[in-house]
Chain A
């Protein structure tokens, strides 16, 4: 089962920041937090990932709390094309140097005009 909890849906106005929360209270010290999004009938798109520090790239910012039990994905200026299901995933070590991503139900973000 997924180790994360996300709200099932959120709305955001176009041009405003979208803040998507994720709880991962059972995360271990060496487990990364990954964020992906999936637009209908397409493969998931990588957004960002982090371990302890906050991260930022051209798509989004990832804020991880100091205790690492939760994180927030921030889309600074949401557009209509950002409407998608957003998945917060804790990457799990599956043995040796192998890792796997287990998807939960995600958050359906709807950006409204």
Chain B
């Protein structure tokens, strides 16, 4: 299957700082990318959907000014957690799909964020 990578795999940052997570599709053009968050022992929660070159669409309850998403190219999307707090500590996972209606959606390996 197609490959989606994330960087970094884990990051520790201090409260009040910002952290950027990258998501790349390595062997296909990702017209749409998604960002999910997963807390321990819970399921994945969709945060936002982004189409290349467009503003992201955020799910209800997700602060768009806190979680900045950029999808500037067909192979790269970034999630920036601004002014991070300990409650933002979570497993952040991106996924990507191409333009086809029946396209599979492939997930990255996830990024473990710990805010101290």
Contacts and interface: CB of A to CB of B under 8 A. Distances in A.
Contacts of A43: 4, 6, 93, 95, 107-110
Determine chain A's interface SS by DSSP, over half rule.
Answer: loop
Interface in B85-116: 91, 93, 95, 97, 99, 101-102, 104-110, 112
B62 interface: no
A48 to B, nearest CB: 9
B104 A44 contact: no
B104 A46 contact: yes
A38 B110 CA distance: 11
A45 interface: yes
Contact of B43 (A46, A99, A105): A105
Interface residues of B, number: 28
Given A44-B93, A46-B1, A98 B49 contact: yes
A68 interface: no
B39 to A, nearest CB: 13
Nearest to B107: A43
A90 B99 CA distance: 18
5 nearest CB pairs, A to B:
A43-B107, A103-B44, A103-B43, A44-B107, A43-B109
Interface of B: 1, 4, 6, 32, 34, 36, 43-46, 49, 51, 57, 91, 93, 95, 97, 99, 101-102, 104-110, 112
Interface of A: 32, 34, 36, 38, 41-46, 49, 51, 87, 94, 97-106
